[in-house]
Amino acid sequence: MPMPTYRNTNYSVFYATLAMVVICCLTFGGRLIRPAMNKIVSRVELRDYEKVFRTLEHPAGTTPLSLRTTSGVLMDAEQGCDFFVGEIRQFNGNQDVISSSYAEQPVSGNPLEVAFIEKGLLPAKVSLFLPEPLNTLAGWDLPPASTGQPMYLVYLLVVGFEGDLELNCR
């Protein structure tokens, strides 16, 4: 009876082909996966900013009317994502007291901004970077009784945030 012989099978072509397929999948799949990951991570970051924003101490004599958030490309940063969390509040009192009460409450190291609404319009410095419909008061779903009352917008604007994952909405 003949002895079985060991047959040396060369798998190098198979491994090379498999490596090429994996490289191609990672190269082309990365272009699809990266935007999806950016979207997920930016939603999480925006939610975190909103959560901290909701814990702010507001001045006495102010009432919340509408809170809105958005993320994406809002300013002219070269990379990263921009985040906006803002709330329109009604007030009776001194504008200086309102501004100074927020000056000492940064959110995650970012300063809060206060803009007073005059003649039913958001200030131009704010409405220029906000996307529609948030760039006008109509997009904020304000209660009808609030029109004509003194109001202000307190907001957080984070520009060019990248984080540990090199987030990029551009």
Cβ(155)–Cβ(126) below 8 Å? yes
Cβ(153)–Cβ(64) below 8 Å? no
Calpha distance 100→138 (Å, rounded): 28
Calpha distance 33→27 (Å, rounded): 10
The whole-number pLDDT of residue 48 equals: 92
Q: In what order do the strands lie in the sheet with 81-91?
A: 62-72, 81-91, 151-161, 112-117
Short-list 76, 89, 83, CA closest to 140: 89
pLDDT above 80 for 166: no
The whole-number pLDDT of residue 1 equals: 63
Peptide bond connecting 133 to the previous residue in cis, omega within 30 degrees of 0: yes
Calpha distance 49→134 (Å, rounded): 18
The whole-number pLDDT of residue 77 equals: 67
Tally of CA atoms within 13 A in the half-sphere of 149 that contains its CB: 19
* Chain segment 105-157, per-residue pLDDT in tens: 888 888 999 999 988 888 888 888 888 888 888 888 888 877 778 999 999 98
Provide the total of helices (H) and of strands (E) in the chain, helices listed first.
3, 4
* Chain segment 68-111, per-residue pLDDT in tens: 998 888 877 677 788 899 999 999 878 888 989 898 888 888 89
Within a 10 A sphere around the Cβ of 5, how many other Cβ atoms?
6
Q: Residue 27: which pLDDT band, with cuts at 50, 70 and 90?
A: confident
Residues 6 or more apart whose Cβ sits within 8 Å of residue 26: none
| Domains of the chain by residue range | 48-161
